[in-house]
Amino acid sequence: MAHIHPTAIVDPRAELGQNVTIGPFCVVEAEVRIGDDCKLEARSVVKNRTTMGVNNELGEGAVLGAKAQHLVEMQPGGVLIIGDHNRIRENATFHRGHANDASTVVGNHNLMMVNSHVGHDVRIGNNCVLVNNAMIGGHCHLEDRAYISGGVGVHQFCRIGRLAMVGALAKIVQDVPPFMMVEGGGSTEIVGLNRVGLRRNGYTPDQILQLKKAYRVIYRQGLRWTEVLHILKAEFNEGPAAEFFEFLKQGKRGFVQERRISRRATLKIVGADEDDLDEVGDKREAA
């Protein structure tokens, strides 16, 4: 049985699961399917051609399933599919696929904070986080456990790899490989592996060491792109490091580059090897 506030408007053609709660002034249109134990807070809207799994929470003023923001309008347009156990906070907006046979798909256990936006035809995996005002353009793909900080703009067709972390206010116009950390603000450059995230998610020291070695092949040795792919495929074909080859070989927009210290820098660290610098980075990340 659903619990529907008397001020809410729910189309009788909508399909509601067990124990669904729909708050004041909500709107649920036709062709909507809402799974068991979902909760819609006041003024939230679920538009037609939207499907929600179980135990999702929708914050005040959020809108799911609006038509794509596109110069060419398609009727009726695609669909929006939301998985299970997602927390979608206040005023977030999720658009359905653009073409009539297209879809926007969001996985499970994601947290989308206040005013975050997911454009049409986006794919979002599981356990991802979008912080306040994060903006994901059309056709983007976020792999599992990607973390997008506040105010980040991700250009259409970009990919964010698994366990990558993008700093606040970054402007992402190219792909971010898995496990990377991208500095926010004006630089939007890779500053190393997301080591804290790797450790918190149970990656072993040996796995992290392999990721470091693969990272150096990609960013530190000045190799041709074909050489990079060849080495990754030949030498890193097991464990998490094998994901680099699979991700990079599919790239079409290029990849966010590493930040390097300028030769003209007035302050340099002398006598520290790369592993020492990695430990310094670990302490800064933990802080």
Paired tokens of 247: 């991700």
Closest CA to 159 of 182, 191, 184: 182
Q: Which of 121, 137, 144, 161 is catalytic?
A: 121
* Bridge-based pairing state of the strands 93-95 and 63-66: parallel
**Spacing of C-alpha 167 from chain mean position:** 12
User: Cα(165)–Cα(150) distance, rounded to whole angstroms?
Assistant: 11
User: Cα(38)–Cα(173) distance, rounded to whole angstroms?
Assistant: 35
State which amino acid sits at residue 287: A
The CA-to-CA distance between both ends of the chain, in Å, stands at 47
Q: Which domain holds residue 215?
A: 204-286
For position 274, which CATH number holds?
Answer: 1.20.1180
Active-site annotation holds for 121: yes
Q: Which of 97, 125, 138, 150 is catalytic?
A: 138
Residues 184 and 213 grouped into a single domain = no
Residues 191 and 85 grouped into a single domain = yes
In 10 A of CB 7, how many CB atoms? 12
Active-site annotation holds for 98: no
Active-site annotation holds for 138: yes
In the chain, the number of structural domains is 2
Boundary residue ending a domain (172, 196, 220): 196
Residues 181 and 151 grouped into a single domain = yes
Q: What are phi and psi of 277, to 5 degrees?
A: -65, -35
Residues 147 and 238 grouped into a single domain = no
Residues 18 and 55 grouped into a single domain = yes
For position 64, which CATH number holds?
Answer: 2.160.10.10
Q: Print the SS3 string covering 220-253.
A: CCCCCHHHHHHHHHHHCCCCCCHHHHHHHCCCCC
pLDDT of residue 270: 40
**Spacing of C-alpha 279 from chain mean position:** 27
Q: Which of 95, 98, 117, 120 is catalytic?
A: 120
Please list the pLDDT of the chain residue by residue as tens digits (287 residues).
Answer: 899 999 999 999 999 999 999 999 999 999 999 999 999 999 999 999 999 999 999 999 999 999 999 999 999 999 999 999 999 999 999 999 999 999 999 999 999 999 999 999 999 999 999 999 999 999 999 999 999 999 999 999 999 999 999 999 999 999 999 999 999 987 899 999 999 999 999 999 999 999 999 999 999 999 999 999 999 999 999 999 999 999 999 999 999 999 875 555 444 434 344 454 454 444 444 44
